[in-house]
Amino acid sequence: MASYAPWDAELARSIIVDKRSMPGPLLPILHALQEEFGYIDREAEPLIASILNISRAEVHGVVTFYHDFRSVPPGRHVLKLCRAEACQSCGGDRLAARAEARVGVALGHTTADGRLSLEPVYCLGLCAVAPSAMLDGRVVGRLDERTLDGLLAEVER
Amino acid sequence: MSRRLFVPGDAGAVALGSDRLARALADALARRKADVEIVRNGSRGLYWLEPMVEVETAAGRIAYGPVTDADADSVLEAALAGSDKHPLYLGKPEDIPFLKNQTRLTFARCGVVDPRSLDDYRAHDGYKGLERALSMQPAAVVEEITQSGLRGRGGAGFPTGIKWKTVADTEAAQKYIVCNADEGDSGTFADRMIMEGDPFVLIEGMTIAGIAVGATQGYIYVRSEYPHAVTALNDAIAVARRAGMLGEKVAGSAHTFDLEVRVGAGAYVCGEETSLLDSLEGKRGVVRAKPPLPAHKGLFGKPTVINNVLSLATVPIILERGGAFYRDFGMGKSRGTMPIQLAGNVKYPGLYETAFGVTLGELVDDIGGGTRSGRPVRAVQVGGPLGAYFPRALFNVPFDYEAFAKADGLIGHGGIVVFDDTVDMARQARFAMEFCAIESCGKCTPCRVGSTRGVEVIDKIIANRDRAANTVLLEDLCNTMKFGSLCALGGFTPYPVMSALTHFPEDFGAPPRLEAAE
């Protein structure tokens, strides 16, 4: 379970300034902000734009283009389920449906109590140990009903 | 020196509990006060045996697997005694047929060495390629790569030497080497294995590329789904820099070359080289129209060599052993070896590096052992989400760029995903279009709009609404996407769709073809 700092414009500014002189700094800045706060606050966009001297539209375009960047804080836990072909061949669809039914939200959503974000991922590169998942950064292979339920129980604690 | 016990730290092994196992083994060693060092090596690529633990003995390394943490004590007992009595005893890993029958050139050290140790890398012939490259003229290094016949292992299969020569011949104050480590194809994990298991070979390959074309800075663009690879690379780069193998005066020469790892953000299309470059520049990962080629105007508008991980990781052995040595493997215009990845519903999943020319049937049935579920193999998808589905009737096709193209498929990055007879090919075709719609960068219409229309048309075919007319429409749409898209995402999505429709028409509600009924 990751813990994030609450949004803080001054802290964000120092993160952005720290990386501004890198060649092509925008992705490293966004990653650093998300690592700190768990998401990219809307207020960060004009801040980045003014410090990097690019348009706000450009920043917004980048934030929304990439699947990784969140516009709202994630749940306290994040469970990513691989939805790509290798995992499909080993029953990944069935497991995804089971997870959705157990948790009560569809992939791509966070439970109402903010406990868990259920996210699809298109390949974790664990195709030789499919189906695979990642819970709060921890990789899990050869997922089956039992291990999936175990992961969901872990989140409940 | 203490004995070494190898417990893979490869993400695939970690996903099967090797971190927990390593802790259990460390505790067991501490209780015994045994003078044994645990090394977190990469994976040998025999994933049905992971976590596979190896111990150094006088007769070489001995393996046990698959080991769970509950087995830690008993395996340790057996390993320290070198005993063959343990039920998980596998003998010498090199003698396991799956490994023994391979030709490991790119993967020679993967799973063998300690990925954090430069000394171990050197002890296994590391940096011999760079040593030879430094004794040659840069143009001769490029020529050696051209002579080897190496083609881009990312999927496009473009001759690497020609790419390098174009950059070498372009005058510029600044040039770049970019490594495409955005391995997004489902069924592929070879890049990940190399980055985690033998990161120095990639660093060496990129350094040789830099010296050959006159580039002083390199970037490795790794996808964010690979956190273990990012850590392994950053650790190795720090070690190489401290040892004078990166930075100014590389290995005591007059050359400067340094490296930086950049992390992607979950966009499949960034595996396409021009959108990767835009992403590195801090933009949306939108595909660029070519020309200009990246070799002329690449990263930040400068001449750029952009190669896949496997291409660059193969450079050191080509320089060490010579272009002719590498060229002697393979068939036709596909020279050398290909690290093939057996994935999905397969009994023996893993990394199988072999010379081009092995047939699909040998790979799936003999080497892969058929399905893990024990049911008959019905289809295999080769080359990721943009690759064709092959029925058993085409299992005689040899693994070769041209032979696969002739069979309306592609070898791509060398991933093979096996499906048993429970697969619904109409659903797989629908998924191909759906995936394209999710991942399209949006620049060109055939991909952006065509993929969404494709999902709708396949839904109508599945629901038997105007099936005949909609099937014709789907074929027409695939044709438009194939020839009208700017890059391979829209251009190749028709491969899985059309191959599913052609080889498995019965899943779309049409009478089966003879070959598919086999």
Residues B187 and B308 in one domain: yes
Contact between A116 and A75 under an 8 Å Cβ cutoff? The reply is yes
Q: Looking at residue B221, what is its pLDDT? A: 98
User: What average pLDDT does the structure give for chain A?
Assistant: 97
Residues B336 and B413 in one domain: yes
Q: Determine, for residues A126 and B372 on separate chains, whether the beta-carbon distance falls below 8 Å.
A: no
Which DSSP category does B341 fall into? E
Q: Determine, for residues A26 and B283 on separate chains, whether the beta-carbon distance falls below 8 Å.
A: yes
Indicate if the pLDDT at residue B385 is higher than 70.
yes
Residues B214 and B296 in one domain: yes
Which of B390, B420, B450 lies at the terminal end of a domain, its last residue? B420
Beta bridge partners of B415: B341
Q: Looking at residue B217, what is its pLDDT? A: 98
Contact between B155 and B488 under an 8 Å Cβ cutoff? The reply is yes
| Cβ within 8 Å of residue B164, ≥6 positions away | B142, B145, B146, B209, B212, B213, B305
Number of domains in chain B: 4
CATH number at residue B354: 3.10.20.600
Residues B171 and B309 in one domain: yes
Interval B498-505 mean pLDDT: 97
State pLDDT tens for residues B41-59.
999 999 999 999 999 998 9
Cβ-based neighbour number of residue B328 at 10 Å: 14
| Nearest CB to B435 within list A89, A122, A140 | A122
Interval B442-455 mean pLDDT: 98
Q: Is residue B372 within 8 angstroms of chain A, CB to CB?
A: yes
Cβ-based neighbour number of residue B493 at 10 Å: 30
In the block, which residue shows the tokens 């070979």? B201
Residues B364 and B235 in one domain: no
User: Which of A16, A65, A135 is most worth mutating to test chain B (most B CB atoms within 10 A of its CB)?
Assistant: A65
Residues B140 and B225 in one domain: yes
B chain contacts of residue A31, beta-carbon cutoff 8 Å? 224, 263, 265
| Nearest CB to A68 within list B192, B224, B342 | B224
Q: Determine, for residues A86 and B50 on separate chains, whether the beta-carbon distance falls below 8 Å.
A: no
In our burial notation (b when 16+ CB lie closer than 10 A, e otherwise), range B261-297 reads bbbbbbbbbbbbbbbbbbbbbbbbbbbbeeeebbbbb
Amino acid of residue A67:
H
Nearest residue to B148 via CA among B339, B309, B304, B316: B316
Q: Is residue B216 within 8 angstroms of chain A, CB to CB?
A: no
Residue B110 domain-assigned?
no
With 0-12 / 13-18 / 19 or more C-beta atoms within 10 angstroms meaning exposed / middle / buried, residue A104 is exposed
Indicate if the pLDDT at residue B516 is higher than 50.
no
| Cβ within 8 Å of residue B170, ≥6 positions away | B295, B296, B303
Query: How is residue B65 written in tokens?
Result: 């697997």
What span, in angstroms and rounded, lies between the C-alpha atoms of A62 and B270? 13
CA atoms within 13 A on the CB side of B112: 19
A chain contacts of residue B439, beta-carbon cutoff 8 Å? 122
Residue B106 domain-assigned?
no
Q: Looking at residue B41, what is its pLDDT? A: 98
What span, in angstroms and rounded, lies between the C-alpha atoms of B408 and B387? 9
Interval B218-236 mean pLDDT: 98
Q: Looking at residue B517, what is its pLDDT? A: 41
> Quick one: residue B89, left, alpha or beta (phi over 0 = left, psi -120 to 50 = alpha)?
beta
B chain contacts of residue A70, beta-carbon cutoff 8 Å? none
Q: How confident is the model at residue A3 (pLDDT cuts 50, 70, 90)?
A: confident
Min Cα distance B22 → chain A (Å) is 15
| Cβ within 8 Å of residue A63, ≥6 positions away | A30, A40, A45, A69, A71
Which of B420, B446, B461 lies at the terminal end of a domain, its last residue? B420
User: Can you give the length of chain A in residues?
Assistant: 157
Give the residue from chain B lying closest to A20, CA to CA.
Answer: B282
User: Hey, which residues 40-69 in chain B have their CB within 8 Å of chain A?
Assistant: 45, 47, 50
Q: Determine, for residues A86 and B417 on separate chains, whether the beta-carbon distance falls below 8 Å.
A: yes
Interval B121-137 mean pLDDT: 98
B chain contacts of residue A86, beta-carbon cutoff 8 Å? 186-187, 343-344, 415, 417
What span, in angstroms and rounded, lies between the C-alpha atoms of A99 and B254? 57
A chain contacts of residue B50, beta-carbon cutoff 8 Å? 129
With 0-12 / 13-18 / 19 or more C-beta atoms within 10 angstroms meaning exposed / middle / buried, residue B156 is middle
| Cβ within 8 Å of residue B16, ≥6 positions away | A129, A141, A142, B50, B51, B66
Which of B283, B300, B327 lies at the terminal end of a domain, its last residue? B327
Which DSSP category does A54 fall into? -
Indicate if the pLDDT at residue B222 is higher than 90.
yes
Q: Is residue B418 within 8 angstroms of chain A, CB to CB?
A: yes
Torsions phi, psi for A78 (to 5 deg): -125, 120
Q: How confident is the model at residue B518 (pLDDT cuts 50, 70, 90)?
A: very low
| Cβ within 8 Å of residue A27, ≥6 positions away | A62, A66, B262, B263, B264, B265, B279, B280, B282
Contact between B265 and B276 under an 8 Å Cβ cutoff? The reply is no
**Which residues of A touch chain B, with CB atoms under 8 Å apart?**
23-28, 30-31, 58, 61-62, 65-69, 84-90, 121-130, 132, 137, 139-142
Interface predicted TM-score of the whole assembly (ipTM), two decimals:
0.97
CA dihedral B468, B473, B475, B479 (to 10 degrees): 170
Q: Determine, for residues A122 and B184 on separate chains, whether the beta-carbon distance falls below 8 Å.
A: yes
Q: Looking at residue A19, what is its pLDDT? A: 98
CA dihedral B241, B221, B191, B333 (to 10 degrees): -110
A chain contacts of residue B419, beta-carbon cutoff 8 Å? 89
The residue ranges of DSSP E strands in B170-265, in sequence order, are 176-181, 217-222, 258-263
SS (H, E, C) A85-121: HHHHCCCHHHHHHHHHHHHCCCCCEECCCCCEEEEEE
Residue B108 domain-assigned?
no
Residue B284 domain-assigned?
yes
Q: Is residue B218 within 8 angstroms of chain A, CB to CB?
A: no
Give the residue from chain A lying closest to B193, CA to CA.
Answer: A125
Domain that includes residue B246, residue range: 118-327
| Cβ within 8 Å of residue B355, ≥6 positions away | B103, B329, B330, B331, B336, B337, B338
Q: How confident is the model at residue A84 (pLDDT cuts 50, 70, 90)?
A: very high
Residues B161 and B15 in one domain: no
Give the residue from chain B lying closest to A34, CA to CA.
Answer: B265
State pLDDT tens for residues B86-110.
999 999 999 999 999 999 999 999 9
What span, in angstroms and rounded, lies between the C-alpha atoms of A131 and B276? 28
Indicate if the pLDDT at residue A82 is higher than 50.
yes
B chain contacts of residue A58, beta-carbon cutoff 8 Å? 283
Which DSSP category does B512 fall into? P
| Cβ within 8 Å of residue A132, ≥6 positions away | A82, A87, A124, A126, A139, A140, A141, A142, A143, B15
Residues B83 and B43 in one domain: yes
Residues B226 and B250 in one domain: yes
CATH number at residue B67: 3.40.30.10
Show the domains of chain A with their CATH numbers.
Answer: 9-65 (no CATH), 77-156 (3.40.30.10)
With 0-12 / 13-18 / 19 or more C-beta atoms within 10 angstroms meaning exposed / middle / buried, residue B222 is buried
Q: Determine, for residues B344 and A90 on separate chains, whether the beta-carbon distance falls below 8 Å.
A: yes
Q: Determine, for residues B281 and A24 on separate chains, whether the beta-carbon distance falls below 8 Å.
A: yes
